[in-house]
Amino acid sequence: MLEISDSDTREHIVNTILSSIELQGYGAGQNWIGCCRKRENFSIKLMKKIVSFFCSHFSQDFEHCHVASSLIRDCYFPIDNDKKFIIFAKQIERKLPRNGLLQFDLEHDGIEKLSTPECFKTFSGPTIETIRNLSYTLMLNSRVFGHLFIVFETLNAIAYPHNETGFGFIAIDRSIPIVHPKVAEFLSTASMMNDFESIYFRTRPAPDGAGLI
């Protein structure tokens, strides 16, 4: 069951995020592992396909992971003008717990503040349904701002859904040069799907820049 983290856990998770991730551009950070993304134009079918695979692949890990969110939505603005996307986005949003996972009606001058530590809310023990619906929300609506991270400490990885219809991964401890096999398997398998591609490293450069290990 999804629960709001206690203050000590929240501080730990937020500090983990800030020390691991370049919030202004995830892929520019030294801890970035890789991502998968769609090859074709967006469709609900493609979105459901990759989200379903993510939820199935990591289903045994959600119980022990944490979710950190500074997401806020100021209006419905789908990535496509098709009204069915708006209807679907509204249906998904109604299923999200009303506990701060997604906030509403952002003033535009506050967007840059969504990367500050105080804006993150953290949660423990997310359900598969919560992960699924949060991922849908990010992939469907281009007027959702902020960050959403799924922190898998046991896998030494932080996952994030993104608006190119896929998921990315960032290492927590860069001193461990080998990507966890479960993360590598997800990206490798996604790259073999007809409609998706992956950019990833099975190993990472060591901290001293000595090259791949």
Gap between the Cα atoms of 210 and 192, Å rounded: 30
Q: Which of 81-90, 105-114, 118-127, 167-176 has the lowest mean pLDDT?
A: 105-114
Gap between the Cα atoms of 135 and 196, Å rounded: 16
Question: Other CB atoms closer than 10 Å to residue 161's CB: what's the count?
Answer: 24
- Domain locations along the chain: 3-22+33-200
HSE-up of residue 137 (Cα within 13 Å, Cβ side) = 30
pLDDT tens profile 12-68: 999 999 999 999 899 989 999 999 999 988 889 999 999 999 999 999 999 999 999
The sign of the torsion formed by the CA atoms of 121, 131, 71, 99 equals negative
Asked if the model's pLDDT at residue 89 lies above 70, the reply is yes
In one-letter notation, the amino acid at residue 99 is: N
pTM: 0.87
How high is the pLDDT of residue 190? 95
Gap between the Cα atoms of 198 and 39, Å rounded: 10
Higher pLDDT residue, 184 or 80? 184
Asked if the model's pLDDT at residue 205 lies above 70, the reply is no
Beta-bridged to residue 60, according to DSSP, are: none
pLDDT tens profile 111-170: 667 788 888 989 998 999 999 999 998 888 767 888 999 999 999 999 999 989 999 999
